Amino acid sequence: MMLRLTILTGLLSFSLAFHAHGNASDPARQAGHTPPLTQESDCSEPGSQDKEADAEPCTPASAADGTQPTSPARPSRQQVHDDRHTASTAASENLMDEHLLRELMHGRQLIFFGRLEPELAMYHVPALMGESGPGLRRFRMGIAGINPRWENISYKFELDLTDSNNTLAGAYLNWDWRQYGALTLGYQDVVQNLSAQTGSLSQLFMEAPQPVDTFSLSKRLGISYDLFGERSGIHAMAFGRDPNNDNDTRGYAGRAYFNPHRSGHGIFHLGGALVWENLDETVRLRSRPESHVTDVRLVDTGTFNDVDTQIHFSLEAAGAKRAFTTRMELFQTYWERTDGSRNTFNGAYWEGGYFLTGQSFNYRQGKFVRPHLIGPEGAWELGLRLSWVELNDADVNGGEERNAGIAVNYYPRSNLRGQFNFIQVNADQPGGDGYLAQWRLQWNW
């Protein structure tokens, strides 16, 4: 506990000094003034006019008839509250950038955010007997913010306080050059498949699909570049070790997507990802049965120390029409062994979701995120999933598993979600067939 308080206190001191240094160079902000958000007009922004002597002065359209321009309406207290919560969610889901934070924080330069996710699981699978009970999936806290001196830079620092390990959940700087892309430096998500890029607050089920859990990499130290267009996007990354463990691998990752169709009512998404990882130590592929209370894995290759390179390849297709969303991905992973042989492992999933209360899909930066919920009546969402993973090839006998699941999600308000999953489990190991039921309360701030 003392270590947690020391880290958080030091982080707060750094953030305040960081912002104080930026404000010292900005007299307007030092006096307590912040530039208001304005709607687009016929005039360019201050400082963007032609500097030549014969340039015409910029005159607001509303002043052409002699009237005074209308000042923008001051946002209501509820609007400020909602926008700051949206900014906190964006920070949690790694969807933030300097422009978005500046727009949503209404003059603030940093926000505190976090999430708490208690859960309960009941297993009716012979291999999982004795594993039923409560658990704490996540307890995280962090700080995100901007600095007025460097207007295109934002930062994030987040700790995972779920257990006594006090591990790092994210720490990076982001340089956002708008139409020229964004550069991120620090401890961050590895660029990979669609589901792995989607944060837990936006996942349809409590856990990611089984092949995603099996083949996806954890966060790593690295540098990444993202460029988003109206109908496409690319992500590229070079990464190294994970400071939370002894993993000392290094590699490269890339993902690209495009939208053959995109409108206000529907979208069609296609994409793919490739991750190349050079291994300097042992490697192991395994996954839980789409439930995290248990530590038992029904598919597990065991540990191998003669693998030079691991390559992950995935293809993704997704779509949405108003309240309905669907996505599927195909996975293939290769091990290149020191004796020149190769192993191949496969997986796939499909899932679909529907908001019974009519909320429309929300799609941003090449992935589906939680819709903005308006009104006090809450929202109900249903989901279906089929998933499959196979880890058998040559001398590797990791097993095969096929799951089918149903999800029910209830949102009493935008930052609170109750989740229920029922999953039929079919694994080829003894005692690997049965079903599980699990519940989770997900609260973020």
* Domain spans of the chain, in order of start: 117-131+174-444
For residue 222, pLDDT beyond 50: yes
Distance CA 272, CA 292 (A): 27
Evaluated on CA atoms 203, 206, 209, 212, the torsion sign reads positive
As given in the structure block, the two tokens for residue 133 are 């009970």
Which of 88-92, 254-258, 294-298 comes out lowest in average pLDDT?
88-92
As given in the structure block, the two tokens for residue 376 are 């006090």
For residue 38, pLDDT beyond 60: no
pTM of the model: 0.82
- Work out the average pLDDT over 101-122: 87
Which of 98-107, 322-331, 391-400, 422-431 comes out lowest in average pLDDT?
98-107
For residue 5, pLDDT beyond 50: no
pLDDT of residue 30: 34
pLDDT of residue 270: 98
User: In the structure, what pLDDT confidence band is assigned to residue 374 with cuts at 50, 70 and 90?
Assistant: low
For residue 129, pLDDT beyond 90: yes
Pick the CATH number of 117-131+174-444 from 3.40.50.1110, 2.40.160.10, 3.40.91.10, 3.10.580.10: 2.40.160.10
Top pLDDT among 264 and 323 is at 323
Q: Is 175 left (phi over 0), alpha (psi -120 to 50) or beta?
A: beta
Which of 51-55, 370-374, 417-421, 441-445 comes out lowest in average pLDDT?
51-55
Distance CA 42, CA 247 (A): 55
Percent with pLDDT over 90 in the chain? 64
Strand partners, 381: 355, 409
Burial category of 191 from C-beta neighbours within 10 Å (exposed 0-12, middle 13-18, buried 19 and up): buried
- Work out the average pLDDT over 363-373: 88
pLDDT of residue 41: 32
pLDDT of residue 96: 67
Distance CA 112, CA 24 (A): 23
Distance CA 404, CA 426 (A): 9
For residue 422, pLDDT beyond 50: yes
- Please choose, from the candidates 242, 11, 259, the residue with its C-alpha nearest in 3D space to the C-alpha of residue 113: 11
- Work out the average pLDDT over 403-416: 95
As given in the structure block, the two tokens for residue 288 are 């839980």
Distance CA 408, CA 355 (A): 10
Percent with pLDDT over 70 in the chain? 81
Q: CA torsion, points 26, 30, 32, 34, in degrees to nearest 10?
A: 10
For residue 179, pLDDT beyond 50: yes
Which contiguous run of DSSP H or E holds residue 89?
helix 77-92
Q: What residue spans of 93-209 are helical by DSSP H?
A: 98-104, 194-197
Strand partners, 110: 145
Question: Between the CA of residue 322 and those of 37, 241, 326, 329, what are the distances in Å?
Answer: 30, 41, 11, 21
- Work out the average pLDDT over 162-189: 90
Identify whether the C-beta of residue 16 lies closer than 8 Å to the C-beta of residue 8: no
